[in-house]
Amino acid sequence: MYMKILNKILYAFLYVLSVCVFLTSCSRTKKNAASDLNEGTLRTETAEHLKTVIWTDEIDGGVLKDKKVKNDMVSDTVSLTPAVLCTFSVPGEEPIYPEIENFGSLDVRGVSAEQWKTINGFCEAVMNDKDADIFMTEEGLASLVLFYADMRDISGQKENQACVSWLPGKPFISDELYQVPVRFIYKEYDIDLMLYLDASAGWKIDQIQIRNQQVKSNDKN
């Protein structure tokens, strides 16, 4: 008697449990189907929307591919690397200019166009062994003669004495003096000068002073 009752209770429990499992499985299936339907609908709507979008033409598409950035104020032979770009003026920040040991800063913002005409003309004449008298004041001609004599003495003691290039440095400006350092670059040595410009004479050179002669090291270690 008791066994029959227990069997009936067990059968009833198993029946209820199977019904619960079945209902739960159906519920999950419906949710998954709804999720797949929503995902498919969103994908379809997105694809249809992209078909109607009007895209603008590409602007300067080659900029990212071009290995050499160009600037109208910089020679084409100079690659605008991040280090070079750091020297450009940034609003609110002081520009950074390189410095050369035993020479000084290369900041030539203090040189006007008229002054630069004299400096450039004189240095090009010296480098190419041409007459530089026109860039000197009358009083400065004597200084030019002494300068040429000193340069001959220096170059006569060296081989490969042809000047390769030159560069100006940051000018020293006071009420009465305007001095511009210049370095003449040779293969085996450098010569540093100081040019004294006279404002009253149209910024011509009044005096030339050889400041330093530096022999380059051949040590390649």
Residue 206 has pLDDT above 60, yes or no: yes
Q: What is the pLDDT of residue 61?
A: 61
Over the chain, what is the mean pLDDT? 75
Domain boundaries, the chain: 1-55, 104-215
Q: How far is CA 163 from CA 84, 145, 168, 172, 199, in A?
A: 26, 18, 15, 25, 29
Q: What is the pLDDT of residue 29?
A: 52
Q: What are phi and psi of 165, to 5 degrees?
A: -165, 180
Range name among 28-32, 113-117, 201-205 with the lowest pLDDT average:
28-32
- Please tell me the distance from the alpha carbon of residue 87 to that of residue 97, in angstroms, as a whole number: 6
Q: What is the pLDDT of residue 214?
A: 83
CATH class, range 104-215:
alpha beta
Q: What is the pLDDT of residue 195?
A: 96
Tell me the pLDDT tens digit for each residue of 106-143.
888 888 999 999 999 999 999 898 999 999 999 999 99
Is residue 198 within 8 Å of residue 115, measured between CB atoms? no
The average pLDDT across 156-181 equals: 81
Residue 64 has pLDDT above 60, yes or no: no
The average pLDDT across 19-33 equals: 53
Is residue 192 within 8 Å of residue 212, measured between CB atoms? yes
Does the pTM exceed 0.85?
Answer: no
Q: What is the pLDDT of residue 102?
A: 86
Percent of the chain with pLDDT over 90: 28
> Who wins on pLDDT, 11 or 121?
121
Query: HEC string of the chain?
Result: CHHHHHHHHHHHHHHHHHHHHHHHHHHHHHHHHHHHHHHHHHHHHHHHHHHHCCCCCCCCCCCCCCCCCCCCCCCCCCCCCHHHHCCCCCCCCCCCCCEECCCEECCCCCCCHHHHHHHHHHHHHHHCCCCCHHHECCCCHHHHHHHHHHHHHHHHCCCCCCEEEEEECCCEECCCCEEEEEEEEECCEEEEEEEEEEHHHCCEEEEEEEEEEEECCCCCC
The average pLDDT across 157-183 equals: 82
Q: What is the pLDDT of residue 76?
A: 62
Q: What is the pLDDT of residue 221?
A: 46
Q: What is the pLDDT of residue 166?
A: 92
Q: How far is CA 166 from CA 83, 94, 130, 141, 191, in A?
A: 22, 26, 15, 21, 9
Q: What is the pLDDT of residue 145?
A: 94
